[in-house]
Structure 1
Amino acid sequence: MNIKRLIPNLFTMLNLFCGCVALVFVANSRFDLGFYFVALGIFFDFFDGFFARKFGVSGPLGVQLDSLADMVTSGIVPAFVMYQMLYDIEFTQALSSYSKSESMTIFYTPFLGFIIALGACYRLAKFNIDTRQSDSFIGLPTPANALFITSLPLIMSFHLNEFWIEDLLNKWVLIGITFLSAYVMNAEIPLFSLKIKNFSFAKYKLQIFFLAISVLMLIFLQILAVPLIILIYVVLSILDNAFKLSKTE
């Protein structure tokens, strides 16, 4: 048996395991531990591809396992987080009201959060058959979207007393984020890849700049930096595409 062939799949299974554990913590409203296990799963997800390329053992089985694991860690978990956030808001509103019609929304509105899972599923299936995404991405990768969504309840918790958090707690804002995330994952927006195959500042200056900014933001802003980093990633990609297009014209 070729041990090298098993190593990438082992990391994929660890990704899946982290996603399952994250689901349990989110179900118990431990959004902090849910976020950390999603981040750990994404860490394993990076290394399954790294070792598959390093050992030259990439194959169709690994591709399918990777997508199935990502569907849990980067698809189901963020969708469940959004469901829980919407449920908590609806339940709190229902407690302060005796209106039967308002309390009934607890059972319907939060399910919109699972639109994130639908968007992630479509994105992963499309990625497997899209030959254009070997060196870059088209649409926001599911791991990036998962980090964005799962960081939101932590921001709400850590910045609860700040005035702007009430806007973020608004259920309509969260529903808007839900639909937007499903769209951005599948939009025809080219995004630069963070895979640096050989150190060349001239070739990877955008990636190096982005990584440096991300590290500084994490140091100074901590959890608040996570969704901002994802937003900066998308904006930088759009600006880079516009710059490349202007050069070709």
Structure 2
Amino acid sequence: MSLIKRQIPNFITLLNLLSGSVAAVLAVQGDLGVATLFVGFGIFFDFFDGLAARALDVKSDLGLQLDSLADMVTSGLVPGIVMCQLLLQSIDSYMDLDFLSSEVNWMIFIGLIITLGSAYRLAKFNIDERQTESFIGLPTPANALLILSLGLILEYHPESFLIPLIENTYVLIFISVLSVLLLNAELKLFALKFKNLNFKENWFRYFIVIFSIVALLLLQFVAIPLIILTYIMLSIALQSKT
């Protein structure tokens, strides 16, 4: 029975990996909406595997490594593929007709720097003892949601003011580079884990949760980049006061 108990968190982590693997296949096929749904499943499982490990008191080094490997697929590989797809669409729409096809094909792989940056960030996380109560750099799930939201906005909000930016090849390259920098920046960001319900100690967590819900209800997928930006700016503001 104890063996089964120890494996429950690992099984949940494998569901994260399975979700990410399905999302990767869908992203390659260009089905970005459903791919995002499966990434959402993966992030859900990623949250609950740690919760299960703490509740059952069965945290292990194996679970830590398995968690990072699963995140590498769900929150590292998939957003890289999605950015490649977005770059491909932008190049087809906006690049000069005389642009050499071989160069175009290579340019789309710039999106994979997001995958490389995610791998580096996850490796650092495993050995960085400073990240027990907060994050140093943007967490890979948050970054994945940021990148995947661009495809959702493109598909479901064609009238959004963000569309011209998402369809611009050079803006997408800039976002890819910025993503890598945010993932690995020496930037302290607060975690959303509530140790207690005390408002004074957790007001910023309550704020970001309520803000996210309201923004999603009003703006739907367009709200996701705004939520990530607000989270980063609020974290910086909190650090400036300490």
Under a length normalisation based on structure 2, what TM-score does the superposition of the two structures give? 0.95
Does residue 35 of structure 1 match 2:57?
A: no
Q: Tell me which moved more, 131-140 or 27-36.
A: 27-36
Q: What letter matches 1:159 in structure 2?
A: H
Tell me the SS of whatever aligns to 1:194.
coil
* Paired residue type of 1:209: F
> Aligned pairs, how many?
241
Unpaired runs of at least 5, structure 2: none
Q: Map of 1:169-184 to 2, 5 A cutoff?
A: 169-184=167-182
- CA distance, structure 1, for counterparts of residue 12 and residue 122 of structure 2: 18
Q: The residue matched to 1:108 in structure 2 has which SS?
A: helix
Alpha-carbon offset, residue 83 of structure 1 = 0.6
Q: Within 5 Å, which residues of 2 pair with 1:11-90?
A: 11-90=12-91
Aligned to 2:238: 240
Describe the SS at the equivalent of 1:137.
strand
Is the 1:32–1:154 contact (alpha carbons within 8 Å) kept by the matching residues of 2? yes
Matched residue, 2:216: 218
Distance 1:237 1:162, change over 3 A: closer
Q: 1:187-243, CA deviations, whole angstroms, 9 ceiling, x for partnerless residues?
A: 000000101122111211110111111111111111111121111110100011112
Counterpart for residue 189 of structure 2: 191
Other structure's SS at 2:189 match:
strand
Secondary structure of residue in 2 paired with 1:191:
strand
CA-to-partner distance for each residue in 1:13-39, whole Å, 9 max, x for gaps? 010011011112112211110111111
Question: What is the aligned partner in structure 2 of residue 209 from structure 1?
Answer: 207
* Mapped contact 1:90–1:105 kept (Cα < 8 A): no
CA distance in 2, matches of 1:45, 1:25: 20
Question: How many Å separate the matches in 1 of 2:161 and 2:73?
Answer: 34
3-state SS of 1:91 partner: helix
Letter in 1 for 2:7: L
Distance 2:201 2:134 in 1: 14
Q: Determine the C-alpha separation between the residues in 2 that align with 1:87 and 1:219.
A: 31
**Structure 1 unaligned residues grouped into runs of 5+:** 245-249
**Fraction of identical pairs, as percent:** 49
- The residue that corresponds to 2:165 in the other structure is 167
Task: State the distance in 2 between where 1:227 and 1:14 align.
Answer: 26
The residue matched to 2:241 in structure 1 has which SS?
A: helix
Question: What code does the residue aligned with 1:165 have?
Answer: I
Q: Matched residues in 2 for 1:184 and 1:164: separation?
A: 20
Deviations 1:50-94 (A, max 9, x none): 111111111100000000000000000000000111112223346
Note if contact 1:76-1:117 (Cα within 8 Å) is conserved in structure 2.
Answer: yes
Cα gap change, 1:137 to 1:162, in 2 (>3 Å): closer
Partner amino acid for 1:197? Answer: K
CA RMSD of aligned residues (A): 1.4
Aligned to 2:113: 115
